[in-house]
Structure 1
């Protein structure tokens, strides 16, 4: 009897231990909670992976846009003459520009020799008039055109934003801007419409705006449109943020210009003092200062003064012009 009791007790203990192992141990050891966590992670993982793929895609697109920006900057260092003429708003051919520059140089050379300026002076003035002056005019016209473009671009972006919010497609909104905007914005947006009409995607057509108008604001506009066309998103919100950025940059440029006016006035006064003093001395005692252009040593000194004055003016201009 005692052996039977012990056997029953042993089997009962084993049964109770097995039940405890099956039902109580997972609860006490945390295996059920771990299993729940694994199942929840398994359910969330596809959504997380989808978000990661979307973020990776956007990151790759932004990186591609940045690489395009660097490539464009490299191209801007060696701009063809035909491109520079287009950026300046001239419809001249490179051949016409070179011909006019050569004629101007020959004319200045002939006039200088006619008035007895000497071969060296005539050659220097002819080089300046035939090579330096036309390219300076190109740069001046280009900067003036870019300034007009930047003044009108924020309003044009606002028009596009209002058109998109009203339900118009992007292409139709750009048409509205091209019809009502002032020059040169009208010409540039008409170029976007023409390139898109012949089959080029609207994003690429807007990205090409930077080639004709090499300013950061035009590049921003092209990048926003190109990224939205590739990855989607709220275009009106993106362009609204772009408009705010453009207006902030314009406000900052005007603030910098106002702060640098004192330095510019000082540079203008310093640069104009030597010619003014020279003119006053010539008006009071012309024979005294006439040695500068009648004696060979005087002409050499005068040429050196012109060179050093030009170098000083260029240095001061570099110091008071700010890029941002």
Structure 2
């Protein structure tokens, strides 16, 4: 990948993802975009991975086990971080000193943030589907990471500081702002879920300390609420019957669909995953889903497949019926725009 392409990736990341979300990462990404030495290191990242996310996560992961002045700029390591104006020379020195370790991490790790808060817009879709069909739901999540979204019916929800849905006593509450139409009344009635299957090229086993630390490193330094939510979800996750499968979803999904109970309504979903697939594989995924729909109806809930909008489609006998299309949500689901049918 050329330096110009990488530079553009870091600029887009800073402008579209980090503004009003992570001042530290915005500053670092803009600085890396004009630094050829750092772009050279970023060029070691596999082309199917988002370079800014992987580089910054790898640095934060290493910082967790190393004593280095750079940690003093990270809100994830100190309650009183140093102002970011002087961070870049310290950041660059750290990266240059740990090139070999970073290169290894680039080959071993994937960007697979398990953003639990995205359940805020997935959950109303699931309650709507369950209400319509009155059949237990069977989840298959593509790019499931650690599988935490597969427990979405066991979390509490607070929308616009007003509407609250209580599904658990442990205090795990997902808060998000709905900037769109009013959520359906069915959102207050939890669905029945009979199967939970997650597919990932590299599933994260939260029982392994190293893998848990990597998941933590993927959370941006200023995002304390995301770290708290992750830790609150872990006890719930441990009590659920979740099947995490290592492999390529496009190759496995048809076979896995045959293991779903016949009386269940199959729901295949993925968020912020499909953009990592080459375009031909995105079309192949759709062909696989169409083939499955020739045998049984299913719902497909997704974004970043052919556009950045959020979709809920019903598929049956090879045809696709769009149920709702929503504007692009915030990447970490701080807000979304609900659209009724």
What TM-score, normalized to structure 2? 0.22
Kindly name which structure, 1 or 2, has the bigger radius of gyration based on alpha carbons: 1
Higher-RCO chain (CA-CA 8 Å, sequence separation at least 6): 2
Structure with the larger strand share: 2
